Structure 1
Amino acid sequence: MPTTSGFSHSIIETPRLAMNVWVSGPDDGTPVLLIHGNLTTGGFWTYVAAELPDDIRVIAPDMRGFGLTEDAPIDATRGLGDMSDDVHGLLEALGLAGRGAVHAVGWSMGGGILQQLLLEHPDDLASLTLVAPVSPYGFGGTVDAQGTLAFPDAASSGGGGAAPEFVRRLREKDTSEEDPNSSPRVILRSFYGAGANAANVDEDFLLAEALTTRVGDDFYPGDSAASDNWPTTAPGNRGVLNTMSPKHFNTSAIATSTAGIPITWIHGTEDLVCSDRSMFDFGTLGELGAVPGWPGADMLPPQPMKAQLRAVLDGYASQPGQADLVREVELEGIAHGLPLEVPARIAEEILALVHR
């Protein structure tokens, strides 16, 4: 269990599946929904929850495929639709759906889940905070701010992008630091970790949560398809990584949405996961020579993830009456693990929207 007082979890039956939900605060408090990213759980929000005042009702579910939530397979053909529908179902079970009262916060993949929720169930939301989110054009396989595909089959994205040795060690719940390039502990620390705040988080707890990730074609990383295009793998239709392939995921319609919901985007300058030079993007890896045969920047440059989101949010802000609804917060020297590295700052930005 985490060390944060008052943050506990239990199973809630929803119309779609049984979800493990981490909570704190009073049932009649202002609802703040916290949605985690890939390879993490609702428990990762413990440090942000500790920074929120006593009148906030924190709701942080484990998404399907993670934590203690029911083992329901992930259909990637609707992007992150399975998970956004799960969130809506949870809000229905809690009596919060359609009331426009929920301040929703999504980190990494969780930001993509909430982008999809914004398009499909905007009446659920009072505000939206995107914390180092996946691009509106998904992860991998696109070349410019407009989300143009590098290859028609979306090669270089999806389930085939996961390192097999990392997947094996994740399946075996390996907690060691041996062979650090494939160690779940080291990768978690290096790319999803607390950075300078590491002394104030419980790494063993966070690793134990990460190792609850289900492994397989229906979960992480998902299936894949052979491709004639570099690097010879294209997305499949099942599992986590395929939900974020541009073949299936595209929330760029946010640019024309008139939902009228305030949106804050928080990101760090040292992010190596959801950035314009992601170390998990084949464009970046090819450029660095880490994956041989790269076809070059003319065909597959590093995906401009931040530029893509900025363009979509600029479109949202250009809609009538929405000019002052978008705020971008860039944190100097901060990496991808913002809920762990700067939890107080994340809480501050959430409360700014709660009290807007």
Structure 2
Amino acid sequence: MTEFTRSIVSTPRLDMNVWTSGPEDGLPLLLVHGNLSSGGFWKYLAAELPADVRVIAPDMRAFGRTEAKTVDATRGLGDMSDDVHGLLEVLGLGGRPVNSVGWSMGAGVLMQQLLENPGDLASMIFIAPLSPFGFGGTTDAKGTMAYSDGAGTGAGGANPEFVRRLLIKDDTEMVPLTSPRVMLRTYFGPERNAKNVDEDFLVEELLRVKISDQLYPGNSVPSMNWPLIAPGDKGVNNAMSPKYFDTSAIVDLPTKPPVTWIFGSDDQISSNRSMFDFGTLGMLGAVPGWPGPMVFPPQPMEDQMRFVLKEYAQRGGQVREVPLEGVGHGIPLAVPGRLAEEVVASLVR
């Protein structure tokens, strides 16, 4: 098995913890993790990749062992995409497009990186991706916002007790609804591959998230609109609000790296019925006062991704869809071998 190791890399923006495997002169492959995880979550995919691939898997700001610096949510995921750009330059890869894989929030980082640093990426794989129109609060495939202030999105949607348990690093299974360990296992874990994955390692990495109004989940403000909270201007979850995050302009880029979209049929996070979306929760009666499907429906995340990628292809981009039946959000943990096959098939050499 290829060794998966970590080291601190100092960039002009911040000190980043970076997990790597493969030869230093190998084919670079950038892996960008999702929310509530770290670069360490890629270890199982890294073990399945060819020996000549050089994996570069940074911990994003607010996560893992990377230096904790404020996330300016008004830039969407721009802080994170710029962090990745700075890392590639320090590693001597500036101006040399690299293959890339982004999982969930990480796919959003790659979309924003494509907009702001288009020369960085040779190919992109989006795994269970964040919608190009952000997370929550949009009503149709074109990303129309339910409310202009982004009510029902961002940091205010994080369960306060769950956040408290992250802060004190409580990984017990008591009160499963707010247990970080149970949340991982239920929503973005290894599923039927659990026997081949070290859950304690994953939970330890998850609990390294930095809890504050500047980092995770961020700050929130009151709203006159349902559910009476709106995103503030700092923090990870606010950076994914449609108030600030919209990368649909990737369709306008003159140069379009090929995109592979991989998604699971049982995804409970990035889907048309996300269990973390106020539209879904309101519809199920879990949040009182829901104004109904005409005002605040479940966000059609898959429809939005398909809408943007269809336009991307019509304007000259190459797009491939890979649906995985019976798989949830935790694709890199649940089916790392299957994922490795798709990564290899997408590599630009």
Shared fold (TM-score greater than 0.5)? Answer: yes
Matched, 1:291 2:287: yes
Alpha-carbon separation, structure 1, partners of 2:178 and 2:2: 33
Percent identity (aligned) = 62
CA RMSD in angstroms comes to: 0.9
Q: Given that residues 2 and 22 in structure 2 are in contact (C-alpha distance below 8 angstroms), is that contact kept between their aligned partners in structure 1?
A: no
Residue equivalent to 1:328: 321
Q: Is contact 2:122-2:348 (8 Å) kept?
A: no
The residue identity in structure 2 corresponding to 1:231 is P
Report how far residue 257 of structure 1 moved. Answer: 2.3
Q: Is the 8 A contact 1:254 1:313 kept in 2?
A: no
| Consecutive unaligned residues in structure 2, runs of 5 or more | none
- Name which of 29, 36, 41 aligns with 1:39: 36
Please state if 1:235 is matched with 2:228: no
Match among 268, 275, 278 for residue 279 of structure 1: 275
Report if aligned partners of 1:19, 1:70 keep a CA contact under 8 Å in 2. Answer: yes
Question: Whole-Å Cα distance in 1 between the matches of residues 233 and 328 of structure 2?
Answer: 30
Select 2:310's aligned residue among 308, 314, 330.
314
- Which of 148, 153, 160 matches 2:149? 153
Measure how far apart 1:345 and its partner are. Answer: 1.4
Deviations 1:240-282 (A, max 9, x none): 0000000100000012223231100000000000110000000
Q: Which amino acid aligns with 1:144?
A: D
Mapping for residues 65-76 of structure 1, pairs under 5 Å: 65-76=62-73
Structure 2 match to 1:247: 243
Selected match of 1:99 from 90, 96, 100: 96
Deviation at 1:108, TM superposition (A): 0.4
Task: Measure, in 2, the Cα distance between the counterparts of 1:252 and 1:107.
Answer: 18
Cα deviations across residues 159-180 of structure 1 (Å, max 9, x unaligned)? 1000000000000000100000
Q: What is residue 87 of structure 2 aligned with on the other side?
A: 90
SS class of match (1:38): coil
Alpha-carbon distance between aligned partners in 1 of 2:138 and 2:167, rounded to the nearest angstrom: 30
Q: 8 Å contact 1:129–1:350 — kept in the other structure?
A: yes
Paired residue for 1:81? 78
Aligned to 1:341: 334
CA contact (8 A) 1:283 1:301 kept: yes
Q: Residue 130 of structure 2: SS of its match in structure 1?
A: coil
Residue matched to 1:178: 174
Aligned residues: 349
Which of the residues 17, 27, 30 maps onto 2:24? 27
CA distance in 2 between counterparts of 1:255 and 1:273 reads 25
- Provide Cα deviations, 1:45-94, integer angstroms capped at 9, x if missing partner: 00000000110000000000000001111110100000000000000000
Contact 1:98 1:121 in 2 (8 A): no
Q: How far apart in 2 are the matches of 1:266 and 1:77? A: 28
Aligned-partner residue type, residue 145 of structure 1:
A
Unaligned ranges ≥5, structure 1 = none
Query: Deviation string for 1:9-49 (max 9, x for gaps)?
Result: 00001121100000001111000000000000000000000
* 1:258 corresponding residue in structure 2: 254
Match of 1:212 in 2: 208
Contact 2:5–2:21 (8 Å) recurs in 1: yes
Quick one: distance in 2 between partners of 1:124 and 1:332?
32
Residues in 2 aligned to 1:346 and 1:52: alpha-carbon distance in whole angstroms: 9
The alpha carbon displacement at 1:5 in A equals: 4.8
Secondary structure of 1:51's partner?
coil
Alignment partners' CA distance in 2, 1:342 and 1:190:
16
